[in-house]
Structure 1
Amino acid sequence: MVFSLPDGLPSGRFEQRGPSEVWICDELPDDVGKVWAELLGRAPVTGLQPHLCWPDDPARPADPAAADAVRLEEVLAADFTEYRERRLPFWSDPSSAEPDDTPEDVEPWPHDPGPPFASWPGLAPAGPDTGTGPGADEAAGRTVADLLRTGPYAASLSLVLVPARSSADVPAVIGWTDSPPMPLMGALLRSWEERFGARVVAAYGGELYVSVARPPLDPAHAERLALEHVLSTADNIVDDPPTPFPEYARELVGRTEWRFWWD
């Protein structure tokens, strides 16, 4: 069933995605960051989440309810145990991470000592609410405006409105079809929404963009969050390009945009 659109949007069309219909704009609206925040603010009433994507991306819609069955703490604890066993030799011996065929004129990969945890430390605490930063809706609008201003594929992105409970469910509903295990990713995104005021703003090709209203503000907090990023399975987290875990974690302090990609 075609849903009613909020006022003030440009022209567009409806398109079927599995059991759901989404609306795709013909042209991005002026002042898209402000429009985005307004659309998010109305989402509890309209049930529509704004999102940026490639309208012609291959789509394989999934049921976002699959995330309901994910016991996030248990899954991440088991995943970290497996990940640590696999990576510990590289963390312990810097020479073991060096490719054998590295040319002499190429800088060696930096040694990654890995996360400072011998066992799963638990989910990172919620991000602090300083009372001075933007709310989640405004932070999402800023991220969208920044992505459209600086992103390499900005001109090819379309605004879509997606009937979904939250932005965390949008990738499954629209059928974003890259490599992450979607039930786990959906559970992580929902949890980040609650703890960090995170909002999924775009998913296209192999990339996923998330705005953050309440990021960690100290290194120890950021280390626990960084471990959750690692366990999302995204290829760019510490691996592409090779980035020592402590360095990646430090970069999350105060950071209001998270980018993930899968090769």
Structure 2
Amino acid sequence: MATLPNPLPRLTADPSGRALGLDLPPGGLVDTTIDGPWHEPLLWRAEDRTAPGDWAALSAARNSGLLPVLLDLDDAQDDLGGWELAPDEMSYAGDHDPEEVLAEFWEEHAAYEPDADEDRPGEEEADEVYGRGPTVAEMVAPYGPLWPGLAAATPLDADPNARAAEIADSLARSGSWLKRPRLALVPARRSADIPAAIGWSGPLNHENDVARLCAVLRSWEDRFGIRVIALAFDRLVLSVAAPPTTTAEAEAVAAEHFAFCPDNIAQGDHDTLREYAEHEVLNGRVWSFWWD
């Protein structure tokens, strides 16, 4: 893999970004990692809270290899020191097969021992693993312990970049669940690569090498028109330009979500994959993931 040129060092002498065709608001470069300063900037982030329209205003940054993302920061995280960024721990997303990644996670988290003599198949209770009531079998129905395979692609109902700007604007408005969103620019080949590009460690208890999850995000880019919109310390938000529109499609995608982030269902607002598919995936223009 050829190394992607990083244009961010040019902002040291040109904070406005005019040499890159940009007109940046006040902001700064971030090179903070868990092991100390990185050898080059990981990202640029704006100083002030983002506002509707800011995302679209920096769309030209893509021409320089910089992609936008919202970072949800609090007063103690201005330099992202508390995020424990670990770029040195990341591999390359293109080296991983997304279905193999999801199948591995599915078999780890959805496996149970079927027992045809039981009214509720599955000896392992989900509450032993997750502190919940349903059995694992009930949680992942209509699927079983074997990986069901990738969901089929669905048609776009919007341009992916336009949908991304729309969702970014909605999250920038006061009253969204983002506390202090700051617009950032990250050197990355594609939006799906942003978490690994900065060494994000949000899913640390689930997967240390976030590039493996980025391989899945790349597949979702191709099949569902997703874009990475926001990152918090342990949360990832995606826009979706090709959302599932039928129950069957939504359940197939929900199975991928469970493998990608079991906490979304095991510790979320919906007890089962079916409920999650109905309320969070079906016709959903935003997918959000949280790791405990």
- The verdict on a shared fold, with TM-score over 0.5 as the criterion, is yes
Tell me if 1:175 matches 2:193.
Answer: no
Counterpart selection for 1:208 from 236, 255, 261: 236
- The structural deviation recorded for 1:94 is 10
- 1:19 is displaced (CA, Å) by 4.4
**Judging changes above 3 Å, is the alpha-carbon distance between structure 1 residues 96 and 62 closer, same or farther for their aligned structure 2 residues?**
same
Structure 1 SS opposite 2:263: coil
Give 3-state SS (helix, strand or coil) of 1:85's partner. Answer: coil
The percent of aligned pairs where both chains have the same amino acid is: 33
Residues 89-148 of structure 1, C-alpha deviations (whole Å, 9 max, x = no match): 89636994568xx9xxxxx9567452323432321111213xxx4311121112112222
The one-letter code sitting in structure 1 at the alignment partner of 2:286 is E
**Structure 2 Cα separation of the partners of residues 120 and 110 of structure 1:** 20
| Pairing 1:10–2:29 present | no
Provide the residue aligned with 1:126 in structure 2: 153
Deviation at 1:196, TM superposition (A): 0.8
**Displacement of 1:67 after TM fit?**
1.8
- 1:35 is aligned to 54
> For 1:52 and 1:116, how far apart are their aligned partners in 2?
35
- What is the CA–CA distance in structure 1 between the aligned matches of 2:123 and 2:56, rounded to whole Å? 46
- For the Cα contact (< 8 Å) 2:125–2:134, is it kept in 1? no
Aligned match for 2:68, one of 39, 50, 61: 50
User: Which residues of structure 1 form unaligned runs of 5+?
Assistant: 103-107
Query: How many residue pairs are counted as aligned between the two chains?
Result: 249
Query: Aligned with 2:85: secondary structure?
Result: coil
For residues 29 and 246 of structure 1, do their structure 2 counterparts lie closer, same or farther at Cα, with a shift above 3 Å needed?
closer
Work out whether residues 261 and 290 of structure 2, in 8 Å CA contact, stay in contact via their aligned partners in 1.
Answer: no
Q: Distance in 2 between matches of 1:44 and 1:8?
A: 13
C-alpha deviation, 1:43, in angstroms: 4.8
**What's the TM-score once normalised by structure 2's chain length?**
0.74
Maintained 8 Å contact 1:115/1:223: no
2:214 and 2:125 mapped to 1: Cα distance?
34
Paired residue type of 1:92: P
Which whole-Å CA distance do the structure 2 matches of 1:228 and 1:257 have between them? 15
User: How do 1:69-218 residues align onto structure 2 when only pairs under 5 Å count?
Assistant: 69-86=95-112, 92=121, 96-97=125-126, 109=133, 112-118=138-144, 119-129=146-156, 133-149=157-173, 150-154=175-179, 156-178=180-202, 179=204, 180-181=206-207, 182-218=210-246
Partner SS for 1:254: coil
CA distance 1:9–1:219, change in 2 (3 Å): same
Output the TM-score relative to the length of structure 1: 0.81
Aligned-CA RMSD value: 3.0
The Cα shift of 1:229 comes to 0.5
Q: CA deviation at 1:64?
A: 5.7
Label 1:194 to 1:139 Cα distance change in 2 as closer, same or farther (>3 A).
same
C-alpha distance in structure 2 between counterparts of 1:88 and 1:226, whole Å = 21
Q: Does 1:25 align with 2:50?
A: no
Q: Which has the higher contact order (CA 8 A, sep 6+)?
A: 1
CA deviation after TM superposition for structure 1 residue 224, in Å: 1.2
Moved more, 12-21 or 247-256: 12-21
> Residues 5-30 of structure 1, C-alpha deviation per residue, up to 9 Å, x if partnerless?
44333111222253442211112454
